[in-house]
Amino acid sequence: MAHNGSTLAMNTFFIARTACPACRSPRRETVYACDYLANPVRDFLVNYYRQSGRLNLAYLEGVRYLLEECCDCGLVYQSQVPSDSLNEILYREKPIPPPPEERGHSLSYHARNVEQLMSLAAHLSRKSSNIRICDFGFGWAEWISLAVALGFQACGCELTEVKKEFARSRGVQVMEWDQIPGAGFDYIHCDWVFEHLREPRDTLEQLVRGLRVGGIIMISVPYRHHIQRRLKANNWSARRDSRNCLNAVHPMEHINCWEGRSLDRMAAACGLCPTKIPIFRQRMILSWDEPREAVKSVLRPFYHNWYPRYDERYFARTV
């Protein structure tokens, strides 16, 4: 480890994390290690950033891609992570996906989001106009735009200016980081955000300050199932939908690879407890033009009630 620290001292683009960012335990075991400039990680990064064409491999000089598993909460995390200056380059220069109207999402995709919002309103036993929600890290504002259309008191937080402006053009109120405490939200939506955060516990503590007592926060993260086997296969070119996909530990971007235990422990430290929306409060949209999706809509609440998902967790503020 001393060698890793000395190389980091000479590379201003990376910061060392010496403890688990979820539970802050220093106890860890290395589960994967290689130089950033060694294959297959090097080829993966070159291909991923090929479209932008501006990832300078010199940023990675002398740095190792290290995955550590926390011995206390089970979080798998990258111990050498991008600094603010490198994050600005990565997220500014990475290929920007097309806005929602150009992506061609199916109606069933949007229907699932509407089902989630309808279920939330039923669970809180209030009209949407009396429910305050925040979409933290809203991206291209797809989910939050639906919330606005359904009449919720909805706002969102995002880092990227182009996405902020796009959201405003859709009628979404954009909130800044320092405006969160005391906001009194009934619900905070965090969809694929916490895998990116260098200090996820600090972020969660800030979000809890913006949640009313009894309010709910939803955290969803990339699917981590069988990550040890996937790492052993070492196939960095595997497709997103394949059994060997390593998207959950994407170098420099998905720097936290969560499981239920790690999310639960971090949440408990922030005054949250696990909760769920009961089956009888869940709403569904059925379209028999798509029989397969209709059957999924019917079965989904029962399946998730019997087999709770670790990659999508609901927590309630207790204090």
Owner of token pair 């309630």? 316
The pLDDT confidence band at residue 97, using thresholds 50, 70 and 90, is: low
Angstrom distance (rounded) from CA 265 to CA 151:
34
The runs of H, that is alpha helices, within 94-234 are 107-124, 142-149, 161-169, 200-209, 227-233
**Domain total in the chain:** 2
81 and 194 both lie in a single domain: no
- Is 3's pLDDT higher than 60? no
Q: What is the mean pLDDT of residues 140-168?
A: 94
Amino acid found at 315: F
Query: What is 22-56 written as a DSSP string?
Result: TT----EEEEEEEETTSTTHHHHHHHHTTTT----
CB 89 within 8 A of CB 59: yes
Cα distance from N-terminal residue to C-terminal residue, the chain: 40
The pLDDT confidence band at residue 5, using thresholds 50, 70 and 90, is: very low
178 and 207 both lie in a single domain: yes
Say if 240 falls within a structural domain. no
- With a pLDDT cut of 70, the percent of the chain lying above it is 92
311 and 267 both lie in a single domain: yes
pLDDT at position 295 is: 87
pLDDT digits (tens, 9 = 90+) for 240-278: 889 999 999 999 999 999 999 999 999 999 999 999 999
CB 283 within 8 A of CB 116: no
Q: Report the SS3 class of residue 136.
A: strand
The pLDDT confidence band at residue 111, using thresholds 50, 70 and 90, is: confident
Say if 244 falls within a structural domain. no
Angstrom distance (rounded) from CA 154 to CA 172:
7
Angstrom distance (rounded) from CA 310 to CA 140:
25
Using alpha carbons only, give the angle 116, 121, 127 rounded to the nearest 5 degrees.
145
pLDDT digits (tens, 9 = 90+) for 225-249: 899 999 999 999 999 889 999 999 9
Task: Supply φ then ψ for residue 157, to 5 degrees.
Answer: -120, 140
Amino acid found at 311: D
Angstrom distance (rounded) from CA 97 to CA 145:
17
Q: Model-level pTM?
A: 0.92
Identify the domain boundary among 67, 93, 119.
93
pLDDT at position 207 is: 98
Handedness of CA 233, 238, 243, 246 (dihedral sign): positive
Helices (H) and strands (E) in the chain, counts: 10, 13
List C-alpha distances in Å: 307 to 246, 283, 315.
23, 18, 17
Which of the two residues, 1 and 123, has the higher pLDDT score? 123
- Nearest CA to 79 out of 161, 19, 22, 136 is that of 19
Task: Point out the least confidently predicted range of 48-57, 123-132, 213-222, 292-301.
Answer: 48-57
Angstrom distance (rounded) from CA 229 to CA 245:
10
- Is 7's pLDDT higher than 50? no
Residues paired with 77 in a beta bridge:
68, 256
The pLDDT confidence band at residue 290, using thresholds 50, 70 and 90, is: confident
112 and 142 both lie in a single domain: yes
Identify the domain boundary among 59, 93, 127.
93
Q: What is the mean pLDDT of residues 155-178?
A: 93
89 and 111 both lie in a single domain: no
pLDDT digits (tens, 9 = 90+) for 45-96: 999 888 766 678 999 999 999 999 999 999 999 999 999 999 888 877 554 5
pLDDT digits (tens, 9 = 90+) for 122-132: 999 999 999 99
Which of the two residues, 297 and 36, has the higher pLDDT score? 36
Say if 117 falls within a structural domain. yes
- Nearest CA to 205 out of 21, 4, 65 is that of 21
* Structure tokens, 140: 């291209």
pLDDT at position 2 is: 35
Query: What is 199-255 written as a DSSP string?
Result: SHHHHHHHHHHTEEEEEEEEEE----TTHHHHHHHT-TT--TTSTT--GGG-TTT--
Q: Domain of 14?
A: 2-93
CATH code for position 138: 3.40.50.150
88 and 120 both lie in a single domain: no
